[in-house]
Structure 1
Amino acid sequence: MKKNYVNAWASAAAAVISLSALTACQPRNEPVQDRQNSAQAQTAKAESIPLIQSKSVPMKLAKPEACDAQGCTQYSIQTVETNVGWINQYFAERIEKADPVAFSSAPNQKVDLSEGSAAGLSQSTTAVRYISQWGHMAAFALESYSYSAGAAHGMQHVEYVNFDLKAKKRLALQDVLLKGAEAKVLDSLFDANAMWLASHDIDRAKLQLSDNFYYGASGIVFVYPLYELASYAEGMPELKLPYQMAKGLFKPEYLPNLPNYENK
Structure 2
Amino acid sequence: MQHLKSQVWVSAVALSSVLLFTACQPKNDTTSKTESGQVATSSAANIPVVQAKVVPVELAQKQVCDEEGCTAYDIQTVKSNVAWIDNYFMQRLQKADPIAFSKSAASAATPEEETNPMDLNQSSSYVRYIGQHGNLATFSLQSYYYPARAAHGMHHQEFVTFDLKQQKRLALQDILLPNAEAKVVEELFNHNFNWLDEHDISREKFKLSDNFYYGANGIVFVYPLYELASYAEGMPELVLPYYATAQLIKPEYLPSLPQYPNQ
Q: Is the 8 A contact 2:120 2:147 kept in 1?
A: yes
Matches of 1:49 and 1:113, distance apart in 2: 49
Alpha-carbon shift at residue 246 of structure 1 (Å)? 1.1
Write the mapping of 1:2-41 to structure 2, written as runs, cut at 5 A.
Answer: none
Write the mapping of 1:1-264 to structure 2, written as runs, cut at 5 A.
Answer: 46-106=44-104, 107-108=107-108, 113-114=115-116, 120-262=119-261
Alpha-carbon shift at residue 261 of structure 1 (Å)? 1.2
- For the residue of structure 2 that corresponds to 1:46, the secondary structure is coil
Change (3 A) 1:126 1:109: closer
- For the residue of structure 2 that corresponds to 1:258, the secondary structure is coil
- 1:142-165 CA distances to partner (integer Å, 9 max, x unpaired)? 011110112110111100000000
- For the residue of structure 1 that corresponds to 2:48, the secondary structure is coil
Report the counterpart of residue 28 of structure 1 in structure 2. none
Matching residue's letter, 2:49: L
- For the residue of structure 2 that corresponds to 1:167, the secondary structure is coil
Q: Is the 8 A contact 1:68 1:110 kept in 2?
A: no
Which sections of structure 1, spanning at least 5 residues, go unmatched?
Answer: 1-42
- 1:68-110 CA distances to partner (integer Å, 9 max, x unpaired)? 1221100011100010010000000000110011111112255
Two-structure CA RMSD over aligned residues (Å): 2.1
Q: Is the 8 A contact 2:141 2:157 kept in 1?
A: yes
Change (3 A) 1:248 1:62: same
Matches of 1:58 and 1:44, distance apart in 2: 29
Matching residue's letter, 2:108: N
Matching residue's letter, 1:214: Y
Change (3 A) 1:47 1:83: farther
- For the residue of structure 2 that corresponds to 1:236, the secondary structure is coil
Matches of 1:110 and 1:192, distance apart in 2: 52
Matches of 1:161 and 1:76, distance apart in 2: 20
Matches of 2:110 and 2:54, distance apart in 1: 33
What TM-score comes out, normalization by structure 1 length? 0.79
- For the residue of structure 1 that corresponds to 2:235, the secondary structure is coil
Matching residue's letter, 2:97: D
Change (3 A) 1:48 1:154: same
Q: Is the 8 A contact 1:70 1:120 kept in 2?
A: no
- For the residue of structure 1 that corresponds to 2:44, the secondary structure is helix
Change (3 A) 1:110 1:135: closer
Matches of 1:252 and 1:64, distance apart in 2: 45
Matches of 2:57 and 2:139, distance apart in 1: 17
Which sections of structure 2, spanning at least 5 residues, go unmatched?
Answer: 1-40
Alpha-carbon shift at residue 255 of structure 1 (Å)? 0.5
Matches of 1:44 and 1:56, distance apart in 2: 23
Matching residue's letter, 1:237: P
- 1:205-233 CA distances to partner (integer Å, 9 max, x unpaired)? 11111010000000000000000000000
Matches of 1:256 and 1:198, distance apart in 2: 30
Structure 1 consecutive aligned stretches of length 4 or more whose deviation exceeds 2 Å: 43-47, 107-115
